[in-house]
Chains A and B, each alone.
Chain A
Amino acid sequence: MDFGISEDQVLLKDSVRKFLEAECPTTRVREIMESDTGHDATLWQGIADLGLTALPISEEYAGAGLEVLDLALIAEELGFACMPGPFLGNALGTIALQAADHGEAKSHWLPRIASGKAIATYAAGEKVGVWEAGDFEVRFSGGKLYGEKPLVPFAAIADILIVAARDSQTNAPDLFLVERAADGMTTRELIGNDMTRRVSTVHFDGTEALAIGGGKAAIDRVRDTALVLIAADAYGGATRCMEMTRDYVMIREQFGQTIAHFQGIKHQLADLATDLAPTCSLWWYAAHAIDHIEDRAAHTAALAKARITDLFDEMGRKGIELHGGIGFTWEHDIHLWVRRSLFDRAFFGEASYHRARAADLRGW
């Protein structure tokens, strides 16, 4: 038994950390998030050149064939850096296509995604709070999709959308592939709290789509992966908020000493660290479970998403409070993570929803 990350995984994390420190400091984060699309093609190609877009794709389709845990370790680093761009949606679209059952679509698109030449996204959530395969109402009929997906990440720049919808013929949930600018598809970009990850509403009015199969099993796997990637992003973001705040209290002087000398501050940070540190093992386990311990995956992914996104919110709030007034200004960087935490909290459903699911999955 070995519950830890491997040397290769440590190297992978380090290389992503170094790349983002150099190519994506917060000055760059701000430029990209204030741009038209919120996406920077050069930065994205750098991510692809590091092999990160190829990582979850099987070797058969020019990928690296690695696991959800590897992907989650990258998500943690992106959260730590607050990297803007389509990583999450692209990863979910990729995992969905990979889990689907259409060789031709895979061999056409997956190598392009691996090299960074194409970007995918994933369309799941529908009516307020609805994220389960069996509840989707967007329907596929006669080769075309009808209905609306209100929260699709980076739909405006994605080359393909993988859509979870109901097949009218079988009345069962399944996956469908839509290409950019397909007839009968309209998108509207929404005003989001998190400026680093854009979302759009996508409307299908008889949009041509390819049924790629996979069914509920694939949709559930994408959901669990999404919950783990969000949890890992939140863990990375919360860790960064804690480190920024620690660094600040060690230089800010009041009453003739740095405020880190006050127990009120030291103990508040110690409490936050005490809550946060053990949760790293929670998302590691959930990520590992998706590939290796099937009957524990859905439950631990739900718990990880709920617990860690809660902590990310708390860390951001306490971080701003400990910074004092400066923490509430536009110039200070900490709000970038506070905004990011609002995405992590909401996307794929709020914490209490996942705790309710986890209670059901326990059989209580």
Chain B
Amino acid sequence: MNLKYNETYQEFREEVRAFLEQNWTPEDVASNPVVNELKRGLGGGARTDERATEFRRAAVAGGYLYRHVPRAYGGSEQRPDPLKATIIAEEFHGAKAPYELSNQGPAMLVPTLLTHGTEEQKETYIESTLMGHIRWCQGYSEPGAGSDLAALRTSGVLDGDAWVVNGQKIWTSNAADADMMFALIRTEPDAPKHDGITYMLIDMKSPGLDIRPLRQMDGEAHFNEIFFDDVRVPRDSIVGDRGNGWKVSRSTLKAERALIGNASMQRRTLDGAVALAQLTEVRGRKAIEDPAIREKLADLDSRVCAAEFNGYRLLTAGHRGEDPGLAGLVTKLYASQLSYDIAMLALEISSDRAMLGQGEPAAPFDGMMMGSFNGAFMLALGGGAPNIQRNVIGERGLGLPRDLRK
């Protein structure tokens, strides 16, 4: 146990700071539309404008961003070093500079293409995805295929030089802004469930493809339904072999679990809840002075601390090549429950004003905490419903028998 960074890493931190000072000026910071720490906590505000792209290219050249991606495809191709990666993330966030884009394209498609893509696919898609020039959505879930994803039925039939796709996808995040979709399509109807699926890259502007926004409980529409009516997809626009899509998609799901398991978002929302309690006066007393509120904040603090330190532990385990067991398997379920509990406490702190919605100036923080309340649901349900997580933890972590599955 040693929580100090040694000299090499101290020097590396200085180097990153110097790079940021030179390449991301106070004017750049001021022009950043992200002004609210809470919004940052909810994952908003990633810039992809020309200035941000210019900066990202410099950061790639310096070896700071997209370190796992080869230089040939627009990454910086560095030896894996979780400590350096942590230092870079800390310093970039501290300087409010553009960081790696963390939406579905860079986080999920790129690792998949690196493992399974053809040379041409890698050249066409990876760099433009990393810079945010091609935006992706994920076409996995269907009305009849949620937790049981392999039950999907959207079909692809080969007709000359193209696949003809028919069916429906649902819960597709950010589809309206996306240029392309990576999708799982059933191409071998007679093969066993998991062996009849192909991983396909589909142009969102294809004729016959219809996007319908799905209004959420908070009134916003992050999700969409996508209808395919004889959509033609070029024959070679598949990743991996035909019928092998289930295996190809596994690398993507693994990448997503890593994406969701980080505790920094919970720390920022808890900081937000503390700030809310310090500002909000309830029945003539600041909420932060209420012993019941203080105790609940401290309880959540213990849970966020545990997540942070567990993150250090996983980092070290990765560095040492050790399997962290349960400590690694539980992070997603843990983080989503914690987010929900923080959001609930923020509503309690808001007292009767918790009934006011996001954007209402009479609500504390303009109702911003409602955003984290809704965000907690998205965190819980994205990348596998909580009960699927519980199955994974029970079966792989505790060695309990597998569920009955058909």
Contacts and interface: CB of A to CB of B under 8 A. Distances in A.
Contacts of A1: 2-6, 9, 83, 312, 315-316
Contacts of B395: 266
A352 B401 CA distance: 38
Contact of B313 (A281, A300, A303, A355): A281
A64 interface: no
A279 interface: yes
B406 interface: no
Contacts of B1: 2-6, 69, 284, 288
B234 interface: no
Given A250-B401, A278-B310, A300-B305, A293 B3 contact: yes
A69 B3 CA distance: 13
Give the interface SS of chain B, mostly helix, strand, loop or mixed.
Answer: helix
Contacts of B398: 242, 246, 269-270, 273
Interface stretch (B47-55, B99-107, B289-297): B289-297
Nearest to B393: A270
Interface string A274-316: 1101111110110010001100000010011011000000000
Given A3-B312, A274-B393, A280-B327, A307 B306 contact: yes
A241 to B, nearest CB: 13
Contacts of A288: 1, 3
A359 B298 contact: yes
B305 A2 contact: no
Nearest to A261: B401
B393 A273 contact: yes
A27 interface: no
A169 interface: no
B124 interface: no
A277 B327 contact: yes
A270 B397 contact: yes
Contacts of B3: 1-3, 288, 292-293
B288 interface: yes
Contact of B298 (A6, A279, A293, A355): A355
Contacts of A307: 299, 302-303, 306
Given A1-B2, A1-B4, A5-B1, A266 B309 contact: no
A269 B400 contact: yes
Interface stretch (B14-22, B143-151, B183-191, B330-338): B330-338
B400 A250 contact: yes
A364 B397 contact: no
Contacts of B312: 1, 3, 281, 285
Given A4-B320, A270-B393, A306 B299 contact: yes
Contacts of B288: 364
Contact of A306 (B297, B302, B337): B302
A266 B330 contact: no
B301 interface: yes
Contacts of A277: 310, 325-327, 329-330, 397
Interface in A340-364: 352, 355-356, 358-359, 362, 364
Contacts of A303: 298, 301-302, 305
A274 B299 CA distance: 16
Contacts of A300: 305
A344 to B, nearest CB: 15
Contacts of B327: 277-278, 280-281
A267 B305 CA distance: 24
Contacts of B322: 4
Contacts, number: 163
State which size class the interface on A falls in.
35 or more
B390 interface: yes
A249 B316 contact: no
A263 B395 CA distance: 11
Contacts of A292: 3
Contacts of B192: none
A197 B60 CA distance: 59
Of A258, A359, A362, most buried by chain B (CB within 10 Å of CB) is A359
B298 A362 contact: yes
A358 B5 CA distance: 27
B305 A282 contact: yes
Nearest to A292: B3
B293 to A, nearest CB: 9
A12 B309 CA distance: 22
Contacts of B4: 1
A3 B301 contact: no
Of A250, A266, A292, most buried by chain B (CB within 10 Å of CB) is A266
A104 interface: no
Given A1-B316, A3-B315, 19 more contacts: A1-B315, A5-B1, A69-B1, A263-B387, A266-B390, A270-B393, A270-B394, A270-B398, A273-B326, A274-B330, A275-B334, A278-B327, A282-B305, A282-B309, A284-B313, A306-B302, A307-B306, A356-B298, A364-B277
9 tightest CB-CB pairs across the interface, nearest first?
Answer: A281-B309, A3-B312, A355-B298, A303-B302, A278-B310, A266-B394, A270-B390, A307-B302, A270-B393
17 contacts: A1-B9, A2-B1, A3-B1, A6-B1, A261-B401, A266-B394, A278-B307, A282-B305, A284-B1, A293-B3, A303-B305, A307-B302, A356-B291, A356-B298, A359-B294, A362-B298, A364-B288
